[in-house]
Amino acid sequence: MTAVTTVAGLDALAPTDRSAEGRERARSDRSGWSPDGLPDAVVRPDSVDQVQQVVRWAAAHRVPLVPRGAGTGLTGGAAAAPGQVVLDLSGLDAIESLDPGARTAVVQPGVILADLDRAAAAHGLRYVPDPGSVAIASIGGTIATNAGGLRCARHGGTREAVAGLDVVLADGSLLRTGTSGARSVTGYDLTSLFVGSEGTLGVVVRATVRLQPLPVATATVTALFPDVATAAHAVATVLAAGPVPPTLELLDHATLAAVDPALADRGGAFLLVQTEGAPALAEATALAGLLRGTALEVDVTDDPVRAERLLATRRDALPAVQRHGRVLIEDVSVPPAALAEAITGIEAIADRTGVRVFTFAHAGAGVIHPLVLTDDGEITPRVRETVDAIVALALRLGGTLTGEHGIGALKRHWLPDELDPVARTTLHRIKAALDPAGVLNPGKAI
């Protein structure tokens, strides 16, 4: 058990858990990775005021704080080490208000995305960002990672859905950014600066988010292809044909076998396309026509129940693969037009290294998740070679090492491959300007 000397005085400020079990539960995230040892304590404030007091306390005592939402992150962003205190925001979980006329909601950070979406649906609205983890991830965590998801290619990700934030800064002061829904260019775009900052610049304690009308209709096309290269080229055809469809998901054969073995017996890759609005069915039918050229099977439905079932299958991809063994979850992204080259390139890398890779993609956004099977958790040289080659390929294609999961702790070693010294220095200057003592989530993101 780790020493808990650093937490003196904390208990008086907010509910604090120093039990081994509590600290064990808060030491990692869904990447499965955590540093050796346990964090010193888990503090779970009940109010914004308590958050401010905790941050002030941490600043005064130079105790590193690790903000934590629902712990569903995939890069160790919320992982905490000895000497650190976890700042658990899950207790701040109220939808404070929802204004159907303004199409906005004011929410606390611990609200689970699906709960907000359900509350919005009661008014014919939806919260657009829908990562695969929509049923378990928190608003605060998704803001801190600028989460994407299945709808973000057309409708934008978390950044586009956030109108304004309340953020507790590293000195404990409370910053309000943005507006309650108005377009604004007053000052620098602080909202966008905090979105995606992974808890390193401030603690999100409240957000005003935009809601969108539910589409009047949706239609869904599914298509089975002989192999992933053909499916990826079909994506290119769809993208060239017009505006990007709201949802365009691709699963390779390995992933398909994990989520739906029967389907995997009949084909080598799967595509799921969703269209929206009054012409949804007509658009879907037209897209199905495009896909029929190369697909083995194509199906179109405008039945929302069946569509939801198909989406659920897709959302299950990550946990389904994880049941096959421990994987490194990569998250590269390329310009959508380069998707086919990236997908076939990843296949070639796996063939070369002989490491098993499960690949699926938010294809419309160019975000690709190659899940690289480890040797029972061990990262062998071949596994390392595989992931390094995948990242290098994405960068060569004009892409990035993280399309939506963030850098966290696990992707930092690749930062110099993507960002030159000027860019890295600029990030550190901003960090130093807002958190000079380095209290907030040190060692993450940048």
Ligand X SMILES: Cc1cc2nc3c(=O)[nH]c(=O)nc-3n(C[C@H](O)[C@H](O)[C@H](O)COP(=O)(O)OP(=O)(O)OC[C@H]3O[C@@H](n4cnc5c(N)ncnc54)[C@H](O)[C@@H]3O)c2cc1C
Regarding 343 and contact with a copy of itself (CB under 8 A), the answer is: no
By the 10 Å C-beta count (0-12 exposed, 13-18 middle, 19+ buried), 242 is classed as exposed
Question: Which position among 87, 120, 152, 327 is part of the footprint of a copy of itself (CB under 8 A)?
Answer: 152
Q: Which is nearer to a copy of itself, 41 or 143 (CB)?
A: 143
Partner from a copy of itself, ligand X, none contacting 213, C-beta within 5 to 8 A by type: a copy of itself
Regarding 407 and contact with a copy of itself (CB under 8 A), the answer is: yes
C-alpha 356/C-alpha 229 separation (Å) is 17
Q: Which of 74, 90, 85 is nearest to 27 (CA)?
A: 85
Residues 6+ apart with CB under 8 A from 134: 113, 114, 117, 149, 315
67 strand-pairing partners: 87
Q: Which two tokens stand for residue 333?
A: 């992204």
Regarding 392 and contact with a copy of itself (CB under 8 A), the answer is: no
Q: Which of 310, 292, 189 is nearest to 237 (CA)?
A: 292
Residues near ligand X (CB under 6 A)? 29-30, 66-74, 77-78, 89, 109, 131-133, 137-138, 140-142, 144-145, 147-149, 198-199, 203-204, 318-319, 404-405, 408, 441, 444
Residue whose tokens read 């930062």: 415
C-alpha 349/C-alpha 358 separation (Å) is 12
Q: Which of 150, 133, 146 is nearest to 29 (CA)?
A: 133
Near a copy of itself in 64-103, by CB under 8 A: 99, 101-103
C-alpha 143/C-alpha 162 separation (Å) is 8
Q: Which is nearer to a copy of itself, 103 or 384 (CB)?
A: 103
Query: In this structure, are residues 372 and 386 in contact, taking their beta carbons and an 8 Å threshold?
Result: yes
Q: Which stretch binds a copy of itself (CB under 8 A): 43-51, 62-70, 176-184, 353-361?
A: 176-184
Partner from a copy of itself, ligand X, none contacting 132, C-beta within 5 to 8 A by type: ligand X
The minimum distance between CB 83 and a copy of itself, in angstroms, equals: 25
Partner from ligand X, a copy of itself, none contacting 433, C-beta within 5 to 8 A by type: a copy of itself
Q: How many residues bind a copy of itself, per CB under 8 A?
A: 85
Near a copy of itself in 290-309, by CB under 8 A: none
Q: Which stretch binds a copy of itself (CB under 8 A): 10-18, 82-90, 210-218, 351-359?
A: 210-218
Partner from ligand X, a copy of itself, none contacting 97, C-beta within 5 to 8 A by type: none
Q: Which stretch binds a copy of itself (CB under 8 A): 28-36, 47-55, 173-181, 259-267?
A: 173-181
Residue 279 CA: distances (Å) to CA of 238, 282, 302, 379: 16, 5, 11, 48
Partner from ligand X, a copy of itself, none contacting 141, C-beta within 5 to 8 A by type: ligand X
